[in-house]
Structure 1
Amino acid sequence: MSSLPLSLALMALLPPAAPQARPISLHPENPHYFEFRGEPTILVTSGEHYGAVLNLDFDFLPYLDELQTRGFNQTRTFSGTYYEVPGSFKIQHNTLAPKPERYQSPWVKAEDGRYDLDRFDPGYFDRLRAFVSAAGERGIVVEYVLFCPFYNDDLWAVNPMNARNNVNGVGDFDRTEAYTLDHPELLEKQLAFVRRAVRELREFDNVYFEVCNEPYFGGVTGEWQDRIIAEIVEAESDLEHPHLIARNIANEKAEITDPNPAVSLFNFHYAAPEAALANLDLNKALGDDETGFDGNDDRPYRTEAWRFLLSGGALFGHLDYSFTPDHEDGSAPIETPTPGGGGPTFRGQLAFLKRFLESFDFLRMSPEKGFLSSVEPAGMADELAAMAVPDLRAIALYAPEGPRLSLGLDLPALPYRFEWIDPRTGAVLASGEFEGGDGVSLDAPEYDEDIALGIEARE
C-alpha cells in the first residue's frame, strides 16, 4: 500500500459529505451546456496528461491552484487501470508514466509483486478522494476516465490486467481482447472496480465518468462499453441525482448514430467544428477533451478551441505538457520530441476565450452564420465560426486566418456596438458603433494570425 503525504492523508480522513449535492448536469434550459452549482457552465481547461492521481510523484495541489488561478473549471484524470511507460508517445516527463515504484494502482500488490485484482488498495481511493475534494474546493470538475485501450504491447506488458502481472490468472490473451465481452473472468474484475470507484465518488458534485479513452483503438467493443455504462447506472440507481456519463466517440469528427440514452456527454479528440455541428440535434453536451499532437506552437490549439466552442461545443480540454512531476505549476519548458504544446502563455489565451464566451448569454446562443450576407476574402466563409442569440442582439464570431476580413451583415434595425479582439492577448484592436439593417459592412483591422468579434445591441 502506498503512503500519502500528510496533507492528503488528513484530507482523506474528512467525513463524507451528506446529503449528496446535485452533481454537474446538463442544463435544463439548454442541454447543449452544463449546470454546475446552479450556474450555466462551459468547461474549459489546459491540464496535465491524466496522471495526477496514479503518479505518486505528482503533487496535485499546485496543479489545481494554477487551474483555479486561470479560471479553468475542468481536469481529466485516468483511473489507474491504465498507465504508460517512460518514452510513450515521445512525451518528455509524462505524468501518465510514473516510475515503477511510484505507480498508484487501484489494486493491492501481493507479496510476489503481482497485483491481486480481488483486493483494492485503500491508499488509492484515499488519494482519489483527496484529489476530487481539492478540485471541488477550487470549483474544478473532474472527468474521471475509467479505462483506456492498450495502444501497443509495451503498455499491455506492464498492466495489472495482464495475466503475467496478477495473481488471479486472468488476462492471458492479446491486449486487443481486454475490453470485450469474450472474457467474463476479466470483465467481472473490471465491473467490480467500476462499482467501487462509483461508490467512492458518489457524494461529490464535481465529477463525471468517462467510460473509456479513445475506444476506437485497441479492440474496444461497443457492447463492452454499454456493459460498463449499465454498471454505472445500476451502481447509482439509488441516487436522486446520478452523475453524468461521457463516451469518447472519435478523433476529429463523426456523426453519432444510435446513442446510448444513459450518455449525456459525447467527447471527441482533436475535434473539427463539424464534430459539434453534426450532432447538435442530440440535445446533449459535446466535448473536445483532448488536443496536443500538433506541434509545440499555440496557434493550432487556440484555433481548435475557438472554432469548436463557437460551433456549439460545451467543453474544451487542452493537453498541456508543461505540467510535469517536477513542475506541477505548469512552468516546465516544452520541447520536441514532445508532440504537443501548452504553458503559461497558452493558458492565458484559453482563459481569455473562456471569459469572452461567459460575457455573453451563451445559454441562449447557438451556431449561426445566416446573418452574413458576404465575406471577403470569399474563401474565409467556411472557416469562420459564429454563434448568436435568436434575435441577433448578440453575436460572437471567430476568424482563424488573416490578415484582413470584411463582413456584410444582415441584422435587425437596431443600434449595435462591436469589438475586434486579438485572441492571443485579449486586447481590443478596434471598437465602435453602427446601425443595424441589411447589407451593413464591417471591416476588421489588419491582424496577424486570427481575430474575434463581439457584437451586441445597445440598449
Structure 2
Amino acid sequence: MKNRFLVTLALTALTGWLSAQPIHLHPENPHYFSYQNKPTVLITSGEHYGAVLNLDFDFITYLNTLQKDGLNLTRTFTGAYREAPGDFGIEHNTMAPETGRFICPWPRSEQAGYALGGNKFDLSRWDEAYFKRLKDFVGAAEQRGIVVELALFCPFYEEKMWVISPMNAANNVNSVGAVGRNDVYTLDKNGGLLAIQEAMVRKIVTELNGFNNVLFEICNEPYFGGVQLNWQHHIADLIVKTETNLPNKHLITQNIANGSAKIEKPHPAVSVFNFHYATPPKAVPLNYGLNKVLGDNETGFKGTADSTYRKEGWEFLLAGGGLYNNLDYSFTSVRPDGTYTPGPKSPGGGSPAFRKQLGVLKDFMQGLDFVRMKPDTVLEGGSLPSRVRIHALGETGKQYALYVYNGNHPKQPEPMSLMLNLPAGRYTVTYVEPETGRKQKKKLRHSGGLATLETPAFGADLALTVQAR
C-alpha cells in the first residue's frame, strides 16, 4: 500500500513537472509540440502583430476572442520595427499606432524629434511600462492556453519604414544607427546597433523566462532587407546563452522563406522552421527529414476570401506541418474582437466565420493520435482529376487522415472516388466538411489491398479519417 502511494505521488509530481515546462518539441515526434503535457499543434488566425506595441489595442478582448474560437497561438512584434498608417494597404493596422500611442522596449528621451511626433528614444534605458505590458499580454495569453510567438526583429522593406524606427540614428539620442536600412541586421556594418540589439534580446528573454507559452522568433522575413545569416545565428546563440543560467529554456523559431526552400545546415538551436504563404506546402516534404516543427506562420496577399486561407491551413497540416497562423485583418484597434470587415484592397482576409473554420481544423487534428502519424502514401492517385491535391497522414493499419483540395472549384458539389491501399481490417470512415464541420460516418470491412471510397458530394475541399475499429 505504501509503495503504491509513493508511485502515485511520484507520477503526480512528474505530471506536474511536465505540465509546468515551457512548450517544447514532442519527445516521441518532434514534428509536433508538447504543451501543458499534451501533444499540440498550433493553429490560429491572429492579429497583425501590434498587440503589445499599440497602446490602443485591447489585447484582453482579442485573446478572449481567440480562446472562444478555440485557437491557441498568436504572433506579435517587439516594437524594434513598426509601420505607419497606410503601409501595405492595411486598414486600421495594429502595427501602425496613432501619434503618441506607440510603445517599445526603449523610453522616450527629453529631446524632441521622433519622425512620427514626440521625443526621440533613449536606447540606453528600458521603458518599464513596455515590459509590464509585454508581460501582461503573455500572461493573459498563458491563462487562456494561447502560445505567443514573439518576433524579435523585422527588416525594413522600404526606406520610409527605416525612417520611423527607434533604431535609426535620427530617432534616438545615442548616436547609433547611422546606417542604411540593409545594414541594420549585420555583424560588421550595423553602426553600433548590434550592442543595442543584443541588450534588447537579453532583456526580453530574461523578462519572459518565467512563462511557459513563449516561442522566440529571431527575425520576421530575414530574406528581405540585407539580414545576414550569421547575424541570425548570433541572435540564436545569444538566446541560448541568456537562458543558460535561467530556470526555463524556450524554443527558437526561424523564418526561412516565402513559399518554400530547402534548409541547408540548420542552426542546432532552432526547433521550428517557419515559412510564409506556403501553399502548396512544398516546404514540408523538402524539410521533413530535419525532424523539427515546420510552420506556415503568415498568410495573405491572395484576396479576402476565407476559403483561400482555410485550404492553405488544411494542406499544410495534413502534409505534416505543426503550426499554422493566418494573418487576420479583422482584428483592429477599433475592433479588437475580430469583427472588422477588411476592404477589397486589403492584402488578406479574416473573419469570425473563418476562425470557426480553423476551429474545425483544430478539432480534426485533436481527434487524431497525430504523434504516431507521418506523411503517408496510402493514396493511389492515378485516377485523380487534374488540379486536385491530396495530402495524407497515417499510422499503418490503425489511422489515416486525408485532405482533398479541389482546385477545379466545381460550381456544384460532386463526389469523388478515392483508392486507398489499406491492410485488411474493419474501419470507420468519417468525412468532414472543412467549411462547416459537418460529418458523415461509414463502416468499411476490407480484405486488404486497394479499397475504393466513394466520397459524399463536395465543393472546394473535403477531409476524412479512416480509423481501425
Shared fold per TM-score greater than 0.5? yes
* Displacement of 1:213: 0.1
Partner of 1:36: 35
* Displacement of 1:184: 5.9
Partner of 1:394: 399
- For the residue of structure 2 that corresponds to 1:217, the secondary structure is coil
Is 1:266 the counterpart of 2:277 in the alignment?
no
- For the residue of structure 2 that corresponds to 1:102, the secondary structure is coil
Choose from 192, 196, 219 the match for 1:212: 219
* Displacement of 1:374: 4.1
Alpha-carbon contact 2:179-2:191 (below 8 Å) kept: no
Alpha-carbon contact 1:375-1:406 (below 8 Å) kept: no
Gapped runs of 5+ residues in structure 2?
A: 1-16, 112-118
The 5-angstrom pairing of residues 12-51 of structure 1 reads 21-51=20-50
Choose from 433, 440, 443 the match for 1:433: 443
- For the residue of structure 2 that corresponds to 1:384, the secondary structure is strand
The 5-angstrom pairing of residues 108-187 of structure 1 reads 108-112=107-111, 113-181=119-187, 182-183=189-190, 185-187=192-194
Alpha-carbon contact 1:376-1:405 (below 8 Å) kept: no
Partner of 1:350: 358
> Deviations for 1:211-240, whole angstroms, at most 9, x for unmatched residues?
000000011010111111111111001135
Count of matched residue pairs: 437
For 1:444 and 1:380, the matched residues in 2 are separated by 17
For 2:56 and 2:246, the matched residues in 1 are separated by 35
Partner of 2:102: 103
Gapped runs of 5+ residues in structure 1?
A: 1-17
- Greater alpha carbon shift after TM alignment, 329-338 vs 194-203: 329-338
For 2:381 and 2:304, the matched residues in 1 are separated by 35
Q: TM-score, normalised by structure 1?
A: 0.93
Partner of 2:305: 297
* Displacement of 1:375: 4.8
> Deviations for 1:389-409, whole angstroms, at most 9, x for unmatched residues?
1x2321111111154421112
- For the residue of structure 2 that corresponds to 1:303, the secondary structure is helix
> Deviations for 1:190-222, whole angstroms, at most 9, x for unmatched residues?
100001001100110010100000000011010
- For the residue of structure 1 that corresponds to 2:192, the secondary structure is helix
- For the residue of structure 1 that corresponds to 2:148, the secondary structure is strand
Partner of 1:446: 457
Amino acid at match of 2:227: V
- Greater alpha carbon shift after TM alignment, 218-227 vs 401-410: 401-410
Is 1:196 the counterpart of 2:203 in the alignment?
yes
For 1:206 and 1:310, the matched residues in 2 are separated by 24
For 2:235 and 2:319, the matched residues in 1 are separated by 30
> Deviations for 1:357-396, whole angstroms, at most 9, x for unmatched residues?
1101000011112x22345334356x1111111x232111
- Greater alpha carbon shift after TM alignment, 332-341 vs 350-359: 332-341
* Displacement of 1:69: 0.8
Write out the 4+ residue segments of structure 1 that deviate beyond 6 Å after TM superposition. none
For 2:223 and 2:348, the matched residues in 1 are separated by 21
* Displacement of 1:336: 1.9
For 1:373 and 1:210, the matched residues in 2 are separated by 39
Alpha-carbon contact 1:146-1:194 (below 8 Å) kept: yes
* Displacement of 1:144: 0.7
Choose from 368, 371, 375 the match for 1:363: 371
For 2:383 and 2:64, the matched residues in 1 are separated by 43
* Displacement of 1:185: 1.5
Partner of 2:429: 418
Choose from 222, 228, 232 the match for 1:225: 232
* Displacement of 1:21: 3.9
- For the residue of structure 2 that corresponds to 1:161, the secondary structure is coil
For 2:415 and 2:302, the matched residues in 1 are separated by 25
Alpha-carbon contact 1:415-1:434 (below 8 Å) kept: yes
Amino acid at match of 1:303: K
For 1:39 and 1:357, the matched residues in 2 are separated by 13
For 2:48 and 2:190, the matched residues in 1 are separated by 30
For 2:304 and 2:137, the matched residues in 1 are separated by 28
